[in-house]
Amino acid sequence: MNLNKIISKILGEAENKEIFFKSLSSFSLRVLSYFLGFLFVFIIARFYSVEAQGIFSIAFTVLSLITLISKLGIQTSMVKWLSSYFYKKKEGEVKFLFYRVYKLVLGFSIILAFIIFLLASKISLWFFNKESLVIPIKVIAIAIPFFASTEIIANYFRSKQSITLFSFYSYVSKFVLPLVVLVIWILFFPERQDDVTPIFAYSIGITLTGLIAFIHVYSNLAGINASAKEKITYKNIFKLSLPMLFSSSLVMLMWWSDTFILGVFKTESDVGIYSIAVKLATIVSFVYNAVISILLPKIAQYYQNNEKEKLIDTVQYSAKLIFIATIPITLALVLFPKFFLSIFGEVYKEGYLILILLLIAQFTNSMAGPVGPFLNMSGNEKEQLYFICIALIVNLGVSLYLVKDFGGEGVAIGSALGMIIWNVLGAIYIKVKLGYQTWIKI
């Protein structure tokens, strides 16, 4: 049996081949993104203090959280609608809906950025009790509209199933230009360095990225006459998007609450060590995110068109791909946690137990399969919201209870429990109520 036949036997149907190769492309770009992000925080670790690492992590958390709110959950519902329009070759509706969503998110993100900029001092003192965060929060606020608009553009390409472009704008672009700006700053302005420099570099880079992304999507849609035979009103948009907004906001809050809690009760050094452990733990999610990149629009298409067999086969193949590919990554990090942490500096080896706890949660997420995407794309976004609420309550309760005595390890326990509860409850609901199994059939 030759190599081509072996590969064909493994991959199976043409649909599975598309998932495999597009997921591989997305995974490769995600790895590149991680490498660039790794390089960015590595430079901070080597050229600046551990406090600078903590300041960057907190500022980045603020950026991510406010950006999430400014998107209003629309990016997910947009994929659901645009995927259907692309599937039916309705380009006029695609252009009409995209610009309606883009303008809405851009306008709202500008308002939120302005508010965060004005309230920077109060946020720094009330939430973190650290005056050193005032300037970083002001600087990062400027990047919010550009960060949010880039993610909307990324999901336009995801809906089109241009997975390479989606992965670039969603992952790689977040660090390419910020990294270039930071390196230029270090090389040409060595006398103007302090703990806030990485925040300035990141904000400038994201601003440039947002402008480039808009020029790209504008040229992509040029020449298409925007039409709206199936007009989607703002009421329709908000009706579907708000549950997704609350869900994605709670997920972000659950994921980033660790940084907030440590920022309030512990030092910038503790936050810096924890942030590196989180960054390593998220490597496990690379495969999951890569597969979901192509799976999300397919779930929407098959579910809306009642193509049940295709949906079952696609979900099962994706679940197997996620499960098998995450095993070696998880094992390597669990067996040698101190080695990987020490790459960033000896001080970060203190976070080895944090890393192991977070890896357990990430691996459970991979085992459960595409729970969140399935619920959102099948019209069960409200049920998704309920499960996340339960997980968030557990996460915050355990983290707040343990942080004073156990620091980062206590917060990691809360985070791990929250993520496990959310995915297990969601997977059980999909199986019992909807009749689909998101985890692999043995």
Q: For residues 298 and 409, state if they share a domain.
A: yes
Q: How far apart are CA 419 and CA 112, in angstroms?
A: 28
15 Rama sector, left if φ>0, alpha if ψ -120 to 50, beta otherwise: alpha
Q: Is residue 414 part of a domain?
A: yes
Q: With respect to residue 207, please indicate whether it lies within any of the assigned structural domains.
A: yes
Q: What is the per-residue pLDDT across 39-50, written as a single tens digit (0 to 9) for each?
A: 888 888 778 777
End-of-domain residue from the set 179, 199, 232: 232
Please check the confidence at residue 110 and state whether its pLDDT lies above 90. Answer: yes
Q: Are residues 289 and 424 in the same domain?
A: yes
Domain match, 192 and 125 both: yes
Does residue 392 share a domain with residue 253?
Answer: yes
Residues 210 and 274 in one domain: no
DSSP 8-state class, residue 88? T
14 is a domain residue: no
Residue 221 sits in the same domain as residue 259 = no
Q: Do the domain assignments include residue 19?
A: no
pLDDT at 242: 67
Model pLDDT, residue 18: 67
- What share of the chain in percent tops pLDDT 90? 14
- Shared domain for 198 and 53, answered yes or no, is yes
Tell which of 232, 248, 263 closes a domain: 232
Give 399 or 167, the one with higher predicted confidence.
399
Please answer whether residues 333 and 280 qualify as being in contact, where contact means their C-beta atoms are separated by less than 8 angstroms: yes
Do 275 and 190 lie in one domain? The reply is no
- Domain residues for the domain of 253 are 240-442
Residues 47 and 122 in one domain: yes
| Cα–Cα distance, 366 to 291 (Å, whole number) | 11
pLDDT at 177 over 80: yes
Claim to verify: residue 325 and residue 409 sit in the same structural domain: yes
**CA pair distance 391, 255, nearest whole angstrom:** 11
Give a yes or no: residue 4 inside a domain.
no
Question: Radius of gyration of the chain from Cα atoms?
Answer: 21
Buried/exposed 99-112: b ≥16 CB within 10 Å, e otherwise:
ebbbebbbebbeeb
The closest of 185, 220, 219 to 199, measured between CA atoms, is 185
On the question of pLDDT at 4 being above 60, the answer is no
Are residues 290 and 269 part of one domain?
yes
93 and 171 Cβ atoms separated by less than 8 Å: no
The answer to whether residue 79 sits within a structural domain is: yes
Q: What is the reported pTM?
A: 0.66
Residue 178 three-state SS: helix
Alpha carbon distance 175, 172 (integer Å): 6
Average pLDDT of the segment spanning 50-72: 80
To the nearest whole number, what is the mean pLDDT of the chain? 81
Q: What is the largest CA-CA distance in the chain?
A: 68
Count CB neighbours of 312 within 10 A: 15
Euclidean distance between CA atoms 138 and 13, whole angstroms: 51
Token look-up 């999430």 returns 68
Indicate if 56 and 133 belong to the same structural domain: yes
Q: What is the DSSP letter of 441?
A: P
8 A C-beta contact, residue 144 and residue 112: yes
Find out whether 268 and 51 touch, Cβ atoms under 8 Å. Answer: yes
302 in a structural domain: yes
Model pLDDT for residues 152-173, shown as the tens digit of each residue = 998 888 888 787 888 888 888 8
Answer with the one of 188, 209, 232 that is the final residue of a domain: 232
Tens digit of each residue's pLDDT (9 = 90 or more) over 297-310: 777 777 777 777 87
Domain count, the chain: 2
Place of tokens 């949660």: 361
Residue 299 lies in a domain: yes
Instruction: Tell me the two tokens of residue 116.
Output: 């965060």
